[in-house]
Amino acid sequence: MIVHVVEGAPCSGKTSFVENKMTQQDIVYDYDKLVTALGKRGGHTVDKHISHSVALKIRQQIIDMLKRGWVSPDNAYIITRSATKALKDSLEGLTVEYHKMEATLEECLARLALDNDRPDKEAWTEIITAYFEENDKEDKKMDKLEKFKSLSIGKADAEKDIDLINKYSVEPLTPEEVYCFSVVLCDNDIDRDTERFVDESLDALAPLFLGKTGICDHRWNAREQKARIYRCEVEDTGKKNKLGEPLKVLRACAYMLASQTEIVDAIKAGIMKEVSVGVSMGACTCSICGAKMGWSGCRGEEEHEKGKKYDGKLCIGELKDAKDAYEFSFVAVPAQPGAGVTKSLESLSEQVEDVKANLDSVPLESRDALMLELQKYKESDEDRKKREKSVAKAKEIKEKYQK
Ligand SMILES: [Zn+2]
């Protein structure tokens, strides 16, 4: 017996694919059809969560029966939107073939128009469009990711490291001509986006950062001031991260010309508060089920929410498959340094935390829009007005659902 997992967007042709292949000796589990059949006629206007969890239980029941040999069809077909890790795990021990439907959005919508089993065209158009938007967004999101971290600066020994430094400098330098420091670029702890780099990602990023440059927040410093990374290593801190695992950090040693220590002076003066690193990661996946992670929750069938616990395990986005590392930059407080500025920044981040808290009443799709606005708040350090607007917009989304 072979189990065929057929995945793809709604109306991408999964059902037709199966109908063309299957015989009288086969059985088929069709998630969309089942959810529709379990609820009120007219499609997804039913309480999705009830029919959804019942449909998943039925799927598990079928898989159990196949495993025990209580039923033995020639082929079993499982039609689903995405083959999640949970599904793959539950099929272990069985012979499985995966089939992915590669239909475009236009093809799916054209098929929807002709589909008599889906009378609720409007609702399905929304579901299909959301499916493709989500996939697009995730592809784009992986282009370049920016992560912020509180500044942790250490010393580095120019005398000892000068040979290494000269591998990266255009002209040979003496220890007296350089200023060296070390800085933590990222770690394996849970960050503000409820994401973290897994240990393998830190290992993979270390060589990618070699030779990359560090700059001051570009708005703050117009002059060419660059530090260059000549060493980058994963360091075991001996401490534990929030998950109780050994806390590992990616520490870079960088040099700059001793005559241009503007970065260092700014750090000493307390103007620089954070370091931001640009990386490109191949995947961000759910720590519970392994499905793709969206802004606020995973795209697996169980839609795990970031920051929530499932059977005692915290749901976070795991950043994997490091593709590239870009420059790092020191981020100054977002205005001329002075009294009051830091304080109002804190109150804005307090507001952000406030919006992020207790989002239960906001539906997952709208929560994504909300988190997206909050993400913008963090990215555009230069423009306070823009950030305030984003937070206000995020607040608006939340308040809409909290009446
Ligand atoms: Zn998940």
State the distance from the centre of ligand 1 to the C-alpha of 288, rounded, in angstroms. 5
| Dist CA 24 CA 264 (whole Å) | 75
One domain for residues 118 and 197: no
Question: Which of 98-112, 180-194, 312-326, 347-361 has the least mean pLDDT?
Answer: 347-361
One domain for residues 33 and 159: no
State the distance from the centre of ligand 1 to the C-alpha of 316, rounded, in angstroms. 9
* Residues 257 and 169 sit within 8 Å (Cβ to Cβ): no
Task: Tally the residues of the chain.
Answer: 403
pLDDT in tens, 109-155: 999 998 887 878 888 888 888 888 877 665 554 567 888 888 888 88
State the distance from the centre of ligand 1 to the C-alpha of 259, rounded, in angstroms. 51
One domain for residues 269 and 389: no
One domain for residues 150 and 285: yes
Characterize the bridge pairing of strands 178-187 and 213-216.
unpaired
Query: Domain end: 332, 352, 370, which one?
Result: 332
Query: Domain end: 271, 304, 332, which one?
Result: 332
One domain for residues 273 and 309: yes
State the distance from the centre of ligand 1 to the C-alpha of 286, rounded, in angstroms. 5
State the distance from the centre of ligand 1 to the C-alpha of 223, rounded, in angstroms. 46
State the distance from the centre of ligand 1 to the C-alpha of 22, rounded, in angstroms. 31
One domain for residues 125 and 157: no
One domain for residues 191 and 326: yes
State the distance from the centre of ligand 1 to the C-alpha of 82, rounded, in angstroms. 12
The pLDDT of 278-301, averaged and rounded, is 88
State the distance from the centre of ligand 1 to the C-alpha of 71, rounded, in angstroms. 29
Q: How many domains does the chain have?
A: 3
State the distance from the centre of ligand 1 to the C-alpha of 81, rounded, in angstroms. 14
Query: Domain end: 121, 141, 161, which one?
Result: 141
Whole domain around residue 325: which residue ranges? Answer: 145-332
State the distance from the centre of ligand 1 to the C-alpha of 80, rounded, in angstroms. 15
One domain for residues 209 and 125: no
Which pLDDT value is given to residue 363? 76
Q: What percent of the chain has pLDDT over 90?
A: 35
State the distance from the centre of ligand 1 to the C-alpha of 101, rounded, in angstroms. 22
One domain for residues 183 and 200: yes
pLDDT in tens, 236-283: 999 999 999 999 999 999 998 888 777 777 777 777 778 888 898 888
State the distance from the centre of ligand 1 to the C-alpha of 289, rounded, in angstroms. 4
State the distance from the centre of ligand 1 to the C-alpha of 299, rounded, in angstroms. 7
State the distance from the centre of ligand 1 to the C-alpha of 87, rounded, in angstroms. 11
One domain for residues 304 and 368: no
Has residue 336 got a pLDDT over 50? no
State the distance from the centre of ligand 1 to the C-alpha of 140, rounded, in angstroms. 20
State the distance from the centre of ligand 1 to the C-alpha of 245, rounded, in angstroms. 21
The CATH number for 133's domain is: 3.40.50.300
What's the predicted TM-score (pTM) here? 0.55
One domain for residues 136 and 155: no
* Residues 289 and 86 sit within 8 Å (Cβ to Cβ): yes
pLDDT in tens, 58-97: 999 999 999 999 988 999 999 998 888 788 888 988 999 9
pLDDT in tens, 172-186: 999 999 989 899 999
One domain for residues 136 and 167: no
State the distance from the centre of ligand 1 to the C-alpha of 298, rounded, in angstroms. 5
Residue of 248 and 366 predicted with greater confidence: 248
The pLDDT of 202-231, averaged and rounded, is 79
